[in-house]
Structures are given as C-alpha cells and as structure tokens.
C-alpha cells in the first residue's frame, strides 16, 4: 500500500492530468492526431493485404509481366516505398503535433505558476 504522501502526489498528478485532458486544446490535439493516424493506418492495412488477396483471387492479373518481373513483385516492392512515404508524412504531421503539444505544456506551465502564486498569497 502506498504511503499517504505517494497517494496524495498520485491524486494530484491524476487531477492535473484530468484537467489537461479536459481542455479544448488537448481535445483538438487528439482529434488532429486521429484524423491523420486512422486514415493512414486503414490505407496501409488495406494496401498491405491487397497483395495476398490479389495473388489469391486474380493470379493471372498479378502474373502480368512488366519488364523482367511480374506485377506481384512490383506490388510487393511498392509496399516498402508506401511504408516510407507514410512514415515521412507522419514525421511532417508530427511536427505540427509537437507544436500543439508545446502550446498545451506552455499554457499548463503558466496556469500552474499562476495557481502557485495565488496559493502563496501573490497576485
């Protein structure tokens, strides 16, 4: 069982987290991230499983020669490029997420400093 000091610190941390999670800025950050991550994930999963599905259900199409290799090999190799493109797009989007996160942290720091000053009798 945690000591009373640890329990109090945990409760304060939890209430601080609840306060942050309830802010409009945090909800906007989560919404923005979701609007990128969910479509990217769905696209990649569909693209990834399209290869075995096409090989299984359209083998003649996937056996189409494109130069010295067939379409299935090109499709399989393209998955590496698609993964790198999605990763690059995420890195670019994450810079925006980082800016939003920094704004939330800065606002939280200002609010915490103001509450600390008020609790000590300052203005």
3 domain residue, yes or no = no
Span between the terminal Cα atoms of the chain, in Å: 39
- Contact at 8 Å (CB) between 51 and 79? yes
9 located within any domain: no
The answer to which of 66-70, 84-88, 97-101, 114-118 has the lowest mean pLDDT is 114-118
Decide if 10 is inside a domain. no
- By the 8 A CB rule, do 40 and 89 touch? yes
Cα(80)–Cα(40) distance, integer angstroms = 15
Domain that holds residue 62: 24-119
Structural domains in the chain (count): 1
Q: How far is Cα 27 from Cα 33, in angstroms, rounded to an integer?
A: 10
Cβ neighbour number for residue 85 with a 10 Å cutoff: 13
Instruction: Tell whether 13 is covered by a domain.
Output: no
The pLDDT of residue 21 is 85
Length of the chain: 123
Report the distance separating Cα 21 and Cα 17, nearest Å. 6
pLDDT in tens, 18-54: 888 888 989 999 999 999 999 999 999 999 999 999 9
d(CA 52, CA 45): 12
pLDDT tier at 107, thresholds 50, 70, 90: confident
CB proximity list for 80: less than 8 A, separation 6 or greater: none
Average pLDDT over residues 65-91: 96
């Amino acid at each position: 069982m945690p000591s009373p000091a640890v329990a109090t610190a945990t409760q304060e941390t939890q209430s601080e987290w609840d306060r942050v999670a309830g802010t409009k800025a945090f909800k906007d950050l989560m919404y923005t991230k979701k609007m990128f991550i969910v479509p990217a994930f769905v696209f990649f999963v569909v693209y990834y499983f399209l290869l075995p599905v096409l090989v299984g259900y359209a083998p003649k199409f996937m056996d189409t020669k494109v130069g010295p290799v067939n379409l299935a090999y090109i499709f399989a190799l393209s998955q590496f490029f698609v993964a790198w493109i999605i990763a690059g797009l995420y890195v670019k989007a994450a810079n925006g997420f980082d800016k939003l996160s920094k704004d939330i942290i800065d606002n939280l720091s200002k609010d915490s400093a103001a509450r600390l000053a008020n609790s000590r009798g300052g203005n």
